[in-house]
Chain A
Amino acid sequence: MHRDYDVAVVGGGLLGSAIAWGLGRLGKTVVVLDEGDITKRASRANFALIWVQSKGLGMPAYTGWTVRASESWGKLAAELQAQTGLDVCLQQNGGFHLTLGDDEFEQRGQLVTRMHNQVGAADYRMEMMSASEVKKRLPLIGPEVSGGSFCPLDGHVNSLRTFRAFHTGFKQFGIDYFPERAVSAIALDGGEFSLATPKGEIRAGKVVLAAGNANQTLAPMVGLSAPMGPTRGQIVVTERTMPFLPHPLTTIRQTDEGTVMIGDSKEDELDDRALKHSISAVMADRAQRTFPHLARLNVVRSWAGIRVMPQDGFPIYDQSESHPGAFVACCHSGVTLASNHAFEIARMVAAGALESKLVGAFSASRFEGRRAANSSGY
């Protein structure tokens, strides 16, 4: 049979795009099979943090994986800019999680202590800061801010431009990107994969499932599993204002072009076409208690998005035993982990095997037999 591609990546969001770009970078022939514009796409709804603090409680390997991503993001941003001319506006000068009132400050302090005490987790220097220490770095905080935690590895990026840069890079690497090609069936046939799409069959030597929450349906087609538990989040965006926020926060950040993004709720509802204004109101209220000046700004946009979320909050990277050459990759933090996907996961897929030293902890086998720990995966 004629093999069209070395690798077919199913899913053209930020995660699939990073892996496909990374494979193209290694000289592989790659096709990306994507859904269309109206698909629920976290890549266009996300909050764009590159976030380390609080990641990995309950799974120390996730802390190390996240630190590794944070440390290689600069390389990714530089390579994307050199290749495409697009500046993704990476900023990594540390981020804050601010608390309102004494109870929140105490709870955050306990979380920081639990993270520090976790055996085997990488040290990423998260520390608690008093309100007066925070005020030295963020002079516009309001009187209700009781302090917060700071991690020097945290940052943010223009995630829409990152997404665009990957797709611009596709062209230069000769990667075929096909929208409106939702994959409905995958078969292993004569040592290669046949993928059924609405516009015909695609054949490839390997397949990477990177279809977000849809991986739950796709993975069993190649002997894998990907138990997902998506949630909805809402974001509120203000008009552009002069730079006032030199560090991103867990729930407030100022973009490179001056808008202020306020996030991010967590709801069980999975309809992304409507907003709950009562939730936006709580988010906006907390934001203006954190930075009272925000109350003067007009809100210009808000939206809801569906998080890609493995059931226990931690990433899933796995390879199939029954279907050699089939991989699954899904995680919540497609922005934070983009560098790992472009460099590490792509390298492993190209070589034909995941490296257990780096990603063994993320196998979906952890869901078998017992109820996996459900913790602060993100």
Chain B
Amino acid sequence: MFKRSDQDKRPSVQIFVDGAAIAAREGDTVSAALLASGRDVRRATAVSGAPRLPYCMMGVCFDCLVTIDGVGNRQGCLVPVAEGMQVEIQKGKREIGR
């Protein structure tokens, strides 16, 4: 769906999405990297379980909620990627212990 620009020369950063290695770029947010990955990165909402993708990309809509390095309900659009980051697509409510 999304295609990286040929002029984008930023260095590559490797993150893991549900265990699979993904090539992101330095300066990407987690949400941008997920959308650019080509994977099915739809989360499921907390109450009805409806599928959702990052939407506003500016911290307002909370549709990008994702588990990052073991912490649930992070706003993926506000967190820059970092080498080796572990991202999990969150299905439903956050678990209380993470």
CB within 8 Å of B: which residues of A?
Answer: 140, 239-242, 244, 257-258, 291, 293-294, 296-298
Contact = CB atoms under 8 A, between A and B. Distances in A.
Given A239-B73, A242-B92, A298-B73, A258 B97 contact: no
A257 B46 contact: yes
Interface in B79-98: 92-98
Interface string B7-26: 00000000000000000000
Contacts of A258: 46-47, 93
Contacts of B73: 239, 298
Contact of B95 (A241, A257, A298): A241
Nearest to B47: A257
A291 B92 CA distance: 22
A238 B44 CA distance: 19
Contact of A240 (B46, B71, B97, B98): B46
A293 B96 contact: yes
Contacts of B97: 293, 296
A297 B46 contact: no
B47 A242 contact: no
A239 B96 contact: no
A291 to B, nearest CB: 8
A240 B43 CA distance: 15
Contacts of B98: 296
Pairs A-B, 6 closest by C-beta atoms: A240-B46, A293-B96, A241-B96, A244-B96, A240-B93, A258-B93
The secondary-structure label for the interface of chain A is loop
B96 A240 contact: no
A297 B71 CA distance: 10
Contacts of B47: 240, 257-258
B94 A140 contact: no
B52 to A, nearest CB: 14
28 contacts: A239-B94, A240-B46, A240-B47, A240-B93, A240-B94, A241-B93, A241-B94, A241-B95, A241-B96, A242-B93, A242-B94, A242-B95, A242-B96, A244-B96, A257-B46, A257-B47, A258-B46, A258-B47, A258-B93, A291-B96, A293-B97, A294-B96, A296-B71, A296-B96, A296-B97, A296-B98, A297-B94, A298-B73
A240 B96 CA distance: 9
A88 B46 CA distance: 19
Contacts of B94: 239-242, 297
A258 B92 CA distance: 10
Contacts of A240: 46-47, 93-94
Contacts of A297: 94, 96
Contacts of A241: 93-96
A240 B94 CA distance: 7
A345 to B, nearest CB: 34
Contacts of A296: 71, 96-98
B17 to A, nearest CB: 21
Nearest to A297: B96
Contacts of A298: 73
A281 B78 CA distance: 27
Q: Which of B92, B93, B96 has the most CB of A within 10 A?
A: B96
B64 to A, nearest CB: 14
A261 to B, nearest CB: 14
B59 to A, nearest CB: 14
Contacts of B93: 240-242, 258
A325 B97 CA distance: 57
Contacts of A239: 73, 94
Contacts of B71: 296
Interface in B57-84: 71, 73
Nearest to B95: A242
Contacts of B96: 140, 241-242, 244, 291, 293-294, 296-297
Contacts of A291: 96
Nearest to B46: A240
A185 B46 CA distance: 48
A294 to B, nearest CB: 7
Contacts of B92: 242
Interface string B26-63: 00000000000000000000110000000000000000
